[in-house]
Amino acid sequence: NAGVTQTPKFQVLKTGQSMTLQCAQDMNHEYMSWYRQDPGMGLRLIHYSVGAGITDQGEVPNGYNVSRSTTEDFPLRLLSAAPSQTSVYFCASTRRDGRYTFGSGTRLTVV
Amino acid sequence: EDKVVQSPLSLVVHEGDTVTLNCSYEVTNFRSLLWYKQEKKAPTFLFMLTSSGIEKKSGRLSSILDKKELFSILNITATQTGDSAVYLCAVEITGGGNKLTFGTGTQLKVEL
């Protein structure tokens, strides 16, 4: 099915570990973004990309890294996991009309 | 700082009721306002509004934008238990990446 695919769906990390959250879309969308969702805070933008090779920071970028080598893939790297990064992470993509398609999310727990 | 505020934070209604959800915003470089429905997982798109006063409708759901007063409402008529969800309002801004700024959402529960 066409859409945004995120892996893994669940992950538990120890403090200090690193990991990569994968995101892939097959809709040929230019724009891709990563959001985190915490209780009472809505979705907050971490990083975004307007095309292959172009990335920029969002509202809460600290502790995260991204790259966009292809149109399809936009991985999010946690460099050294901290308990404050416990959250649900959503990847999303769109052409240019703002109608984002969201992945099903990754629930990350850092202990 | 861009801000999107939704109200109420939560509400409980009975099947058949009509509900109105509110979204106000203060952003620079406004492009559009979007409504999403979030059940257990990913938010799903409902409406995108760019012009004031033009109602968008989809079945029992409708939405309208007021760009002068900087707010939008989402109406749901004849509510059903399947409408139970978190409704998210987001404002898209220009200036690189068409970024979305989200409100915290309204949790709607529809009881029998």
Q: What is the pLDDT of residue B99?
A: 82
CB contact under 8 A, B44 and A50: no
Chain A: nearest CA to B30, how far in angstroms? 12
CA distance A91 to B86: 18
Residue B105: closest CA among chain A residues belongs to which residue?
Answer: A42
Give chain B as a DSSP string.
Answer: --EEEEE-SEEEEETT--EEEEEEEE-SSEEEEEEEEESSSS-EEEEEE-STTPPEEETTEEEEEETTTTEEEEEE-S--GGG-EEEEEEEEE-SSTT-EEE---EEEEEE-
CB contact under 8 A, B100 and A42: no
Q: What is the pLDDT of residue B41?
A: 84
CA distance B53 to A71: 37
Both tokens assigned to A108: 């990350």
Q: What would the pLDDT profile of B23-37 be if each residue is shown by its tens digit?
A: 999 988 899 999 999
Chain A: nearest CA to B79, how far in angstroms? 24
Task: Give B97's pLDDT tier (boundaries 50, 70, 90).
Answer: low
Q: What would the pLDDT profile of B59-71 be if each residue is shown by its tens digit?
A: 999 999 999 999 9
| H or E segment and range at residue A35 | strand A31-38
Q: What would the pLDDT profile of A42-88 be if each residue is shown by its tens digit?
A: 899 999 999 999 999 999 999 999 999 999 999 999 999 999 999 99
With a CB-CB cutoff of 8 Å, which residues 7-36 of chain A face chain B?
Answer: 31, 33, 35
